[in-house]
């Protein structure tokens, strides 16, 4: 059988297509990761914690300097119960630090260190408006198992995960990612390819492969502002237990409700704002002020924007009727 071959249509010799150079993609990936390390690496510190009276540190974690005057974000569980904190920069200099504020509900804390004693330290940018997407490159920098300034990279696996904090409250807006984490990464930053902090690494699933979690920048920026302003986080609460449930389409349409889900009240704490406002078991909460409530997590997020003690309105469906309940959330 005669083999077929291509014949040029002009007198010029045939030119084979250039080979695909996978190195170009690898070089771009490497440049992205090294760029993050160059920009953000000097802002990442090791946090050594002493809880006893003698000896070396009892535990260690990571943190990221977020202001030029030495305030740094880390995890609440890293600094919990500490008697003494010491921070080490990537260059090796160390200095004593103190806890400014602690928020176990989001597993975040702010510490203060003498920035001059650490030498040349960069500042990480934590912007609550920064957004990430599944599949996006992310880089984790921290001090796992005592190995300082360790870099790992992965992708965003999923958004909107929820974890339980130490006080059993849901931490919402959690980022799931594949950048490898180990004990000691806690409190360190998760960054995008531009070196912006998109989350604070907080948890892993033991014996898993590539499943890590970071508190998202939106939550971290809000908690940071609260702790810097008053040393604690003020949270409004209603005193209800409930669950997300689908809305009957005809009922929702009849009352002009566009959402497909809302929150059903299943329990009410005695003496709580919900009890004082006359909420009942079985009520369906679909609105807080002007914000649609489609889930328990959405209700928690909405309450962050309501100052404790400020009267507000709940949109409620009760036995098929739409009513408005005046309620005054209190500080937890």
pLDDT digits (tens, 9 = 90+) for 87-145: 999 989 999 999 999 999 899 999 999 988 888 789 999 998 888 999 999 999 999 99
Catalytic residue among 76, 77, 102, 152: 77
Residue of 305 and 68 predicted with greater confidence: 68
pLDDT bin (cut points 50, 70, 90) of residue 156 is very high
User: 167 pLDDT exceeds 90?
Assistant: no
Judge if 222 and 271 occupy the same domain: no
Bin 256: left if φ > 0, else alpha if -120 < ψ < 50, else beta.
Answer: left
Same domain, 211 and 249: no
Quote the pLDDT of residue 168.
Answer: 66
User: Which of 86, 118, 150 is where one domain is finished?
Assistant: 118
186 is a catalytic site residue: yes
> CATH code at 304?
2.30.42.10
Q: How many domains does the chain fold into? A: 3
129 lies in a domain? no
Mean pLDDT of 41-60: 85
**Residue of 48, 103, 107, 172 with catalytic role:** 107
Does pLDDT of 18 surpass 60? no
Q: Which residues contact 169 (CB under 8 A, 6 or more apart)?
A: 105
Instruction: Note whether 241 and 322 are same-domain residues.
Output: yes
Do residues 171 and 70 touch, judged by C-beta distance below 8 A? no
DSSP 6: -
pLDDT at 14 over 70: no
Give the torsion sign (CA, 38, 42, 43, 48): positive
pLDDT interval class at 237 (50, 70, 90): confident
Record the pTM: 0.77
Tokens of 279: 């909420």
- Identify which of 7-21, 89-103, 158-172, 291-305 has the greatest average pLDDT: 89-103
Same domain, 222 and 240: no
Tens digit of pLDDT for each residue in 309-321? 999 999 999 999 9
Cβ-proximal residues to 54 (8 Å cutoff; 6+ apart), any chain: none
CB count within 10 Å of CB 38 equals: 11
Residue 4 domain-assigned? no
State how far the Cα of 172 lies from the Cα of 330, in Å rounded to an integer.
21
Q: Are 201 and 62 in contact (CB under 8 A)?
A: yes
pLDDT in tens, 207-220: 888 899 999 998 99
Q: Does residue 195 form part of some domain?
A: yes
Same domain, 252 and 318: yes
Q: Is residue 204 part of a domain?
A: yes
Average pLDDT, the chain: 88
- 293 and 240 part of one domain: yes
Does residue 234 surpass a pLDDT of 90?
A: no
Query: Looking at the structure, do residues 223 and 241 belong to the same domain, yes or no?
Result: no
Residue 310 lies in a domain: yes
Q: Are residues 142 and 110 in the same domain?
A: no
CATH of the domain at 48: 2.40.10.10
Question: Contact at 8 Å (CB) between 87 and 61?
Answer: no
Closest CA to 86 of 61, 106, 122: 61
The answer to whether the CB of 62 falls within 8 A of the CB of 184 is yes
Residue pair 153/160 in contact (Cβ under 8 Å)? The answer is no
Is 285's pLDDT higher than 50?
yes
Strands 94-103 and 59-65: unpaired
Last residue of some domain: 230, 253, 286? 230
Which tops the pLDDT comparison, 22 or 196? 196
Of 149, 152, 186, 192, the active-site residue reads: 186
In a domain, 131, yes or no: no
Residues in a beta bridge with 161: 174
Asked whether residue 244 falls in the same domain as residue 320, the answer is yes
Residues 146 and 189 in one domain: yes
What pLDDT sits at residue 275?
Answer: 95
Domain-located, residue 285: yes
Residues of the domain holding 102: 40-118
Is 208 part of the annotated catalytic residue set?
no
pLDDT at position 164 over 80: no
Is 225 part of the annotated catalytic residue set? Answer: no
Residue 26 lies in a domain: no
- Confidence band of 9 (pLDDT split at 50, 70, 90): very low
Q: Based on the domain organization, do 251 and 300 belong to the same domain?
A: yes
Q: Taking residues 276-292, what's their average pLDDT?
A: 95
Of 61, 89, 118, the residue that ends a domain is 118
| Domain identity same for 113 and 71 | yes
CA distances to 95, 103, 261, 263 from 298, rounded to whole Å, are: 41, 20, 11, 9
How many beta carbons lie within 10 A of that of residue 50, not counting itself? 16
């Amino acid at each position: 059988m005669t083999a077929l071959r291509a014949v040029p249509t002009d007198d010029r010799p045939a030119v084979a297509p250039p080979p695909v150079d996978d190195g170009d993609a690898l070089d771009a990936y490497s440049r992205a990761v090294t760029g993050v390390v160059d920009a953000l690496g000097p802002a990442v510190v090791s946090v050594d914690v002493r809880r006893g009276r003698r000896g070396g540190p009892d535990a260690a974690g990571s943190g990221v300097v977020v202001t030029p005057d030495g305030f740094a974000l880390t995890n609440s569980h890293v600094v919990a119960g500490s008697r003494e904190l010491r921070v080490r920069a990537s260059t090796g200099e160390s200095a004593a630090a103190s806890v400014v504020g602690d928020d176990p509900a989001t597993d975040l804390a702010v510490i203060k260190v003498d920035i001059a004693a650490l030498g040349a330290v960069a500042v990480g940018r934590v912007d609550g408006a920064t957004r990430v997407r599944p599949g996006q490159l992310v880089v984790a920098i921290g001090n796992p198992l005592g190995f300082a300034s360790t870099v790992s990279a992965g992708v965003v696996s999923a958004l909107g995960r929820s974890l339980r904090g130490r006080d059993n409250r849901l931490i919402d807006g959690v980022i799931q990612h594949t950048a490898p984490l180990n004990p000691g990464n806690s409190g360190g930053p998760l960054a995008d390819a531009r070196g912006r902090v998109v989350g604070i690494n907080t948890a892993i699933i033991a014996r898993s492969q590539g499943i890590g979690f970071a508190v998202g920048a939106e939550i971290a920026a809000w908690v940071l502002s609260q702790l810097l302003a008053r040393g604690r986080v003020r949270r409004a609460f209603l005193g209800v237990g409930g669950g997300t449930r689908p809305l009957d389409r005809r009922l929702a349409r009849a009352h002009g409700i566009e959402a497909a889900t809302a929150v059903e009240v299943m329990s009410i704490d005695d003496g709580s704002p919900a009890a004082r406002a006359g909420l009942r078991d079985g009520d369906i909460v679909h609105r807080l002020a002007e914000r649609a409530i489609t889930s328990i997590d959405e209700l928690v997020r909405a309450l962050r924007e309501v100052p404790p003690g400020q009267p507000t309105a709940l949109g409620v469906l009760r036995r098929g009727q739409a009513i408005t309940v005046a309620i005054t959330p209190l500080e937890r």
